[in-house]
Amino acid sequence: MKKLSIIITGRNDNYLNDYIDQTSRALNYTLKKIYEKKLEKNIDLIFIDWGSKKTLISDEVFIENKYKKIISFYHVPYSISKKEKDFRYRINTSKAHNLGIRLSKSEFCLLSHSDQIYPSYVLNNLNSLINGKLISEKKFSDSYFYIPRKYLLYDYFKNNPSSYMIDRYFENLNFSLQEWKNASFVIGGGWGGILAKKKFFEINQGLNEEYYLSRKVGMISPDLDFHQKTSFKYNIIDASNFGIHTYRYYEPNRNDKRTKYLVNRLPPKLNNIQDNKIWGLKKF
């Protein structure tokens, strides 16, 4: 049994510039760091391909052979994904993450994104955290963690630096000198990751899957809904207190097709939180 599954979602639809190339680089870098730190027995990656229509992500993303043992790709058929409201403009990341939780065989799950990387020091700290070296293991029974996201300089990464150069970037990065956007585990969109025991997600039926209402009415942020649903029952911990962040470095999206389709985000109402026995595509 693995200790941690990092659950990633995506769809091969050119939403982002050079999406496949950027996803390949992000995945291979994180996988390489896992092996270098000898954490492959503890950590695996689950990638949920939400309805790629023509070419599956697993067929296009390049993964080095030596890393394939700890990454699994699962494809949700287009026939299922197209049933979602506005499926052409967005993927139901909540259902995708929830499916990943169901498929995981690990003790812990980390809900993440395809455009994020995890440097060596972050993986070390993650491993120490979930093994009770940084916090009492009993704390995990009534707590979960928000992992903030930092934005890296695209001008540096657009030149496709080698893994060695990326490592040097992190080793020599002066966090006090570089100007950072406020670290974001923004409740209501833009979060980097949510970490908890798999049982925790199961008890709380994962993220809200019916968060999109309509373009006219707006949408409910699934992480904000999750926060409101759980914050009065559990402790919420900022993982940056333990040196844990995600890092994002892709080019700003220039696909106006979706950018113009942004809708209002509405705060969920607690009395509207519904019981969902089939969360995570259970009936499929």
Angle (nearest 5°) at CA 272 between 268 and 277 = 115
- With cut-offs at 50, 70 and 90, classify the pLDDT of residue 184: very low
- From the list 48, 49, 46, the residue with the least C-alpha distance to 13 is 49
Q: Are 191 and 105 in contact (CB under 8 A)?
A: no
Give dist(CA 90, CA 254) in Å, integer.
Answer: 15
pLDDT at residue 269 in the model: 56
Q: Are 122 and 167 in contact (CB under 8 A)?
A: no
- From the list 74, 46, 112, the residue with the least C-alpha distance to 248 is 112
Give pLDDT tens digits for 105-148: 999 999 998 889 999 999 999 999 999 999 988 888 899 999 98
Residue % of the chain over a pLDDT of 90: 36
Model's pTM, two decimal places? 0.88
Residue 227 backbone class (left: φ over 0; alpha: ψ -120 to 50; beta: rest): alpha
User: Who's near 283: CB < 8 A, 6+ residues apart?
Assistant: none
- With cut-offs at 50, 70 and 90, classify the pLDDT of residue 104: very high
